[in-house]
Structure 1
Amino acid sequence: MAKKYVSRRNLEFMLYEVFDIVGMTQYPYYSAHNKKMFDMTLDAALKLSKDLLNPIFEEMDRQGPVLENGKVKVHPMVRTIMQRFGEGGWIAAKFQEEFDGAQLPYLIADACNFIFSAANYSAHVFPGLTSKAARLITSFGSQEQIDTYVPKMLNGEWQGTMALTEPQAGSSLADITTTAVPTDKGYYLLQGQKIFISAGDHDGVDNVVQMLLAKIEGAPAGVKGISMFIVPNQRIAADGGLEPNDVTITQIYHKMGYRGAPITELSLGEKGDCRGWLVGEPHNGLSYMFQMMNGSRLGVGMGAIGISSAAYYAALDYARERPQGRLVPDPATAQVPIIEHADVRRMLLFQRAFVEGAFSLLMQCCRYSDLELAVEGEEKEKASLLLDLLIPVAKTYPSETSILSTSQAIQIFGGYGYCEDFPVEQHFRDTRIHAIHEGTTGIQGMDILGRKVRMKGGKAFTLFVQEVNATIAAARALEKLAPYADRLATALEELQQVTEQLKGFGEEKGTRAMLADATLYLEYFSLIAIAWQWLLQSIAAEKALAGKPSQSNQQFYQGKLHTTRYFFHYELPKTAGLAQRLKEQEAITLEMEKDIFND
């Protein structure tokens, strides 16, 4: 493994200098915290990742889960991980004090999740999923359900999952066929099948609690008929112990990467006795699940960034140590480390620009999440709308770009990078899932263009433009940043024009035509959002440099400014080609008949 997989200095820069997490403690909701506690939390997360997660990074990949006698067996350290994360309060980190949670700001809690993902993504999935599932119960469940399930989930004894997908219903949840028949005993009898369920069963916990979507018998058609149920693999028996709940694990999927965590297929009610307990009101299941989905999408983005961070630091270490080639055409001179070559530096800059730029965007989303909880009125609505708008970007840009970034890490290693001797091939395999799960890239594109930029009469999009313009104005006041502020202003103005033009195209040609290139629109929007984040970081760096910092800090801030230069000269210009395509009102993909694809 690499000597380093995250930058503590960058975490501190983001938390304290860019997003001012200490300022969050002015609000009553977060008033119990202070900078010393945040520093201690980072220390604890780094130690836990170093001592517990990272040492088994390769083992969990090489010794993947197996299905034996109807039970999934995972790496033996998974039970220890769940126990340690439960005892240490990591699963409950964001939960309110009433649930024995730490009530940590999202900014610090998700910075720690970034550390855990970088150390060992597969390992962190187990407690991460459990936390999100427990949040659904505390948000929408009854007091009895909270008392029955949440304590054991938050202390790491029981696993939590989300069970949505079915063989004929992946992204199209309106087509799920799992049914729930009411009884007079307070539970429903479920029957159906679920596929691709992460951590749907394993021996690292005593029980698995599925947060499951199904349709009550006689429910309305489509998404309006979906309800949410708690379906434990082991239900509580009359004597207070656990007994089988007619949930059968029919297979585990053998995956390209992310192999340390099992993805399972579940068969419900083969014996007619799979019991589920309704969460909240009937037919509101999809709206409830979107709370978990939105949190999961942000988690997917953060996971992809964490994996790419580990790959970047592995490539950086290798580039500094690997001798190859010379700077002058004289074979008598010594070879130089490959970091001396411009193209290697370009690949490293691409990785750094992505990792630190995307992490900044996720921190921006965390700040909005914190404000949602801490403030009221218009400020709360603003934070909520901006978060909702940015979720497709925060999920997709990291997911898609991580594939390219980890690939560049392999390229720096050359042939060694393609082999199991070094970790980057595993990082590449591990990250590929992120563009698929929790809503594919295509789904996210349709979400942002078809709904998010238009919701509430375009209010969220208008607020986004105002946020970026505020950063542009602040950057223009700093002489060295003014040219980059102008570049972003030009790109932002064109984004507004393209967005309005696409809306008009939809009104004229229909929604299907408007959304034909929604994925390209999302990529276009994302580049501008990341440029905004780099400008935001550069403002903080310039202000810090004006204070005459130490030499090591001076190098850090100069590195930020140089990486900003890279992004604005190499990545932001890509928006020009995307804008040109999006302005062309030719529905090429729709107009091509499917039979033309035949040989």
Structure 2
Amino acid sequence: MPDYKAPLRDIQFVMNEVLESDKHYASLPGCEDATPDMISAILEEGAKFSERVLAPLNQVGDREGCQFNDGEVTTPTGFKEAYQQYVEGGWPSLAHDPAHGGQGLPESIGTVISEMVGTANWSWGMYPGLSHGAMNTLSEHGTDEQKHTYLTKLVSGEWTGTMCLTEPHCGTDLGMLRTKAEPQADGSYKITGTKIFISAGEHDMADNIIHIVLARLPDAPAGTKGISLFIVPKFMPEGDGIGARNGVACGSLEHKMGIHGNATCVMNFDAATGYLIGPPNKGLNCMFTFMNTARLGTALQGLAHAEWGFQNSLVYAKERLQMRSLTGPKNPEGAADPIIVHPAVRNMLLTQKAFAEGGRALIYFCAQLVDKVKLASDEEKAEADALLAFLTPIAKAFLTEVGFESANHGVQVFGGHGFIAEWGMEQNVRDARISMLYEGTTQIQALDLLGRKVLMSQGESLKGFTKIVHKFCKAHAEDEQMKPFIEPLAKLNQEWGELTMKIGMKAMQDREEVGAAAVDYLMYSGYVSLAYFWARMAAKAQNAVAAGTDEEAFYKAKVTTANFYFQRILPRTRGHVEIMQSGAANLMDMDVEHFVF
């Protein structure tokens, strides 16, 4: 049976040693309560809840799925009770404003809890995860009255939230959406239309569901410039509770490849009462608050599937006996050696480990940037916002791609048993596959990174990060122990800018060059970004060993994994460089009519 153990030691290493959370929180107003002792206590309790309550429900959710009956959705056995425990524990309110019942802790602490929750049971974690995005959107763009009416209940966890963007005829191209919003005399709107693929759109876990919905006003301009954002509750608020049922209902549940424990709904809005959030026709700008939260949340999914795959693969590889080591028996008393002695198995395990632990560092770094965007001074806030905008598509797309790769390695380590449901490895693959699709596919994230973030800023957004890498490399240039990391990282960091300039020059002649290079550019960017974080982790680990420590094995494993990443994973960049430089012609020269079968 699969299991999950929260990697608290590694979490503490990244937070406390690599990213120096104590200094980070001390520099931000309102973070005085985020002391090391308090954070440690929160993480330990979050680990217990994830390990003991959520992890045992992971396969239950996959087997049972959600049940649909005449518009009502029942979640899998134990999901509702687990959510009540989650609410009673105060977890929904962790990183939200005390003015609305929140605990006021930094977003980065909530990110760590989200990692543990999501790795233990991704399908379950999507229910509060969607609420978190709804809360951030209301907090940023809602009126005081809207915050009082909706935000307080969402923060407490009594109500949950969703985001409703996609329609049957439009996914990424939201300018095509048709859902209508008719203004009413009382200042409300009547929302009519159909939304699909709505995660947690209907369920039995909370008293009310607050939908954040994109729709068009009657006089709206065409395209994305004519989209507005609305609050549409399942039940109309009344006093301190709920009143009449609104005109929104679940029409059906999707039959899916994975994440069976989460309800993916078709939502029908039939003159449902809604309330405008933010200015008219600026809904997409407001929704980006939700979408950026969701994209970082999906980056966590890549980490979750890599971590889950690694933990369970490692246990199996140490126990499963098959064949003898090529250098002689390592388990002479047994019938065969454990498969972890074989280089091919080690390669898969180390790949999972490198992506999980490197991904953790990247995401926690991004979470600290979120803290700065919310709490820092204006100058530091602007710098953090620009850096976060650059790293978000990398974190979302790259980590979900390598998270899926890691999940596949999990099946392979188990061999034939990996294909059998009871071990949980095939579920991990099925659950992971959606991460590369929702909240913007890998291809869309790649276009956003290269086209919108990098080229449209004339490379300034890239420079914001490459300067950080350059400064780190310069600081460690004379450290002999760090040369195996610093020299290749410095070369790649310089090449990153050069490649960008080459693609930009080609794009001036042919815009197709951007689309042709984008995915490989994103993957290259991901590998280099993780190399930077692995170099930082190696430096900290080497210093700890040199200073003397009773955790020498932990730190030496960090350095060994960093070596593996640089020697066996980072060379993948060479293939991406070759593909990027091959140009768009090999993709675009074939006439559409020649695509036949």
TM-score norm. by structure 2 comes to: 0.96
What corresponds to 1:84 in structure 2?
A: 85
What corresponds to 1:278 in structure 2?
A: 276
Amino acid at match of 1:414: G
Distance 1:351 1:475 in 2: 27
The alpha carbon displacement at 1:131 in A equals 1.6
Alignment of 1:217-236 (within 5 A): 217-236=218-237
Give secondary structure in 2 for the equivalent of 1:185.
Answer: coil
Distance 1:85 1:465 in 2: 40
| CA distance 1:373–1:586, change in 2 (3 Å) | closer
**Contact map agreement 2:322 2:338 (CA 8 A) in 1:** yes
Distance 1:487 1:436 in 2: 32
**Contact map agreement 1:67 1:73 (CA 8 A) in 2:** yes
Give secondary structure in 2 for the equivalent of 1:30.
Answer: coil
Aligned residues: 593
Distance 2:239 2:483 in 1: 70
Distance 1:240 1:487 in 2: 60
The alpha carbon displacement at 1:106 in A equals 2.7
What corresponds to 1:294 in structure 2?
A: 292
The alpha carbon displacement at 1:402 in A equals 1.2
| CA distance 1:330–1:438, change in 2 (3 Å) | closer
What corresponds to 1:63 in structure 2?
A: 64
What corresponds to 1:473 in structure 2?
A: 474
The alpha carbon displacement at 1:237 in A equals 5.8
**Contact map agreement 1:502 1:514 (CA 8 A) in 2:** yes
Distance 1:137 1:390 in 2: 24
Between 24-33 and 260-269, the greater mean CA deviation after superposition? 24-33
**Contact map agreement 2:447 2:514 (CA 8 A) in 1:** no
Distance 1:238 1:343 in 2: 63
The alpha carbon displacement at 1:473 in A equals 2.1
Distance 1:487 1:42 in 2: 36
The alpha carbon displacement at 1:590 in A equals 1.9
Distance 2:32 2:452 in 1: 36
Q: Deviations over 1:34-54 (max 9, x none)?
A: 100010011110011122211
The alpha carbon displacement at 1:336 in A equals 0.6
Q: Which ranges in structure 2 are unaligned for 5 or more consecutive residues?
A: none
What corresponds to 1:140 in structure 2?
A: 141
Distance 2:229 2:23 in 1: 38
What corresponds to 2:309 in structure 1?
A: 311
**Contact map agreement 1:107 1:363 (CA 8 A) in 2:** yes
| CA distance 1:437–1:536, change in 2 (3 Å) | same
Distance 2:457 2:92 in 1: 35
Between 589-598 and 291-300, the greater mean CA deviation after superposition? 589-598
Alignment of 1:25-104 (within 5 A): 25-26=25-26, 27-104=28-105
What corresponds to 2:321 in structure 1?
A: 323
Q: Deviations over 1:162-201 (max 9, x none)?
A: 0000011100000000010101012111111100000101
Between 582-591 and 405-414, the greater mean CA deviation after superposition? 582-591
| CA distance 1:53–1:277, change in 2 (3 Å) | same
| CA distance 1:210–1:4, change in 2 (3 Å) | closer
Between 139-148 and 528-537, the greater mean CA deviation after superposition? 139-148
Q: Which of residues 581, 592, 595 in structure 2 aligns to 1:594?
A: 592
**Contact map agreement 1:83 1:155 (CA 8 A) in 2:** no
Percent sequence identity over matched residues? Answer: 33
What corresponds to 1:373 in structure 2?
A: 374
The answer to whether structure 1 residue 168 and structure 2 residue 169 are counterparts is yes
What corresponds to 2:257 in structure 1?
A: 256
Q: Deviations over 1:358-403 (max 9, x none)?
A: 1111111112112223321332221111110000011011111111
Distance 1:159 1:28 in 2: 29
The alpha carbon displacement at 1:570 in A equals 1.1
What corresponds to 1:213 in structure 2?
A: 214
Q: Deviations over 1:220-272 (max 9, x none)?
A: 11111100000112223699642221112111001111110000001111xxx
The alpha carbon displacement at 1:3 in A equals 4.7
| CA distance 1:478–1:99, change in 2 (3 Å) | farther
Give secondary structure in 2 for the equivalent of 1:94.
Answer: coil
**Contact map agreement 1:311 1:423 (CA 8 A) in 2:** no
What corresponds to 1:409 in structure 2?
A: 410
What corresponds to 1:559 in structure 2?
A: 557
What corresponds to 1:399 in structure 2?
A: 400
Distance 2:63 2:155 in 1: 29
**Contact map agreement 1:6 1:309 (CA 8 A) in 2:** no
Give secondary structure in 2 for the equivalent of 1:95.
Answer: coil
What corresponds to 1:508 in structure 2?
A: 509
What corresponds to 2:518 in structure 1?
A: 518
What corresponds to 1:446 in structure 2?
A: 447
Between 45-54 and 100-109, the greater mean CA deviation after superposition? 100-109
Distance 2:556 2:399 in 1: 24
**Contact map agreement 1:5 1:314 (CA 8 A) in 2:** no
Amino acid at match of 2:531: A
**Contact map agreement 1:24 1:30 (CA 8 A) in 2:** no
| CA distance 1:237–1:89, change in 2 (3 Å) | closer
**Contact map agreement 1:94 1:102 (CA 8 A) in 2:** yes
Amino acid at match of 1:294: N
Give secondary structure in 1 for the equivalent of 2:126.
Answer: helix
What corresponds to 1:571 in structure 2?
A: 569
Distance 1:329 1:558 in 2: 24
Give secondary structure in 1 for the equivalent of 2:481.
Answer: coil
TM-score norm. by structure 1 comes to: 0.96
**Contact map agreement 1:6 1:310 (CA 8 A) in 2:** no
The alpha carbon displacement at 1:144 in A equals 1.5
The answer to whether structure 1 residue 22 and structure 2 residue 22 are counterparts is yes
Give secondary structure in 2 for the equivalent of 1:382.
Answer: helix
Distance 1:328 1:353 in 2: 25
Distance 2:245 2:374 in 1: 39
Amino acid at match of 1:316: L
What corresponds to 1:549 in structure 2?
A: 549
| CA distance 1:114–1:467, change in 2 (3 Å) | same
Q: Deviations over 1:427-470 (max 9, x none)?
A: 11111110000001110000000011135443221111101112
